[in-house]
């Protein structure tokens, strides 16, 4: 293989690898996970890590909207997808489902941290 052919092959492999790695469903900002909208994400102490299940449904999910996963979303690294009781899908980080807090008004708000002593900031 000549130098030019090797360089082209290496570039193609790099592009393919980057294209096949989907973006994370959330990002870290100021030590916590935030959704694509910049809003803080939380975990619920009543959710058992790795159970593939959310304990926050119905009215709870109205106040604590889940971080929704699209139909084609797939697990990758620390990220997994769980099926909710209502048939929708939700992202989980290190096995813990992730939620927004309806009372947070703007990116950077963290008003749900410690709520009822069972809601915690989601940390990377």
Tens digit of each residue's pLDDT (9 = 90 or more) over 1-34: 554 544 444 443 444 444 456 678 999 999 999 9
Mean pLDDT of 76-103: 97
Whether residue 61 is predicted with pLDDT greater than 60 in this model: the reply is yes
Percent of the chain's residues with pLDDT above 90: 80
Q: What is the pLDDT of residue 103?
A: 98
79 has a pLDDT exceeding 50: yes
pLDDT of residue 9: 42
- Residue range 90-114: average pLDDT? 98
Work out the widest C-alpha separation in the chain, in whole angstroms. Answer: 65
Say whether 40 sits in a helix, a strand or coil.
strand
Average of per-residue pLDDT values in the chain: 88
pLDDT of residue 20: 53
**pLDDT at residue 58 in the model:** 96
Three-class secondary structure of residue 9 per DSSP: helix
42: which 2 tokens? 């939380």
- Please count the other Cβ atoms lying within 10 Å of the Cβ belonging to residue 16: 10
Instruction: Please give the distance of CA 110 from its chain centroid, rounded to a whole number.
Output: 17
């Amino acid at each position: 293989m000549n130098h030019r052919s090797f360089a082209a092959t290496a570039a193609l492999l790099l592009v393919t690898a980057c294209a096949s790695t989907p973006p994370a469903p959330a990002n870290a900002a100021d030590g916590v996970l935030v959704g694509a909208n910049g809003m803080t994400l939380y975990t619920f102490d009543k959710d058992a890590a790795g159970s593939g299940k959310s304990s926050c449904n119905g009215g709870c999910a109205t106040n604590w909207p889940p971080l929704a996963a699209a139909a084609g979303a797939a697990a990758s690294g620390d990220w997994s997808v769980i099926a909710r009781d209502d048939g929708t899908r939700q992202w989980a980080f290190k096995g813990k489902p992730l939620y927004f807090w309806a009372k947070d008004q703007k990116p950077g708000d963290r008003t749900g941290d410690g709520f009822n002593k069972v809601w915690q900031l989601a940390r990377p």
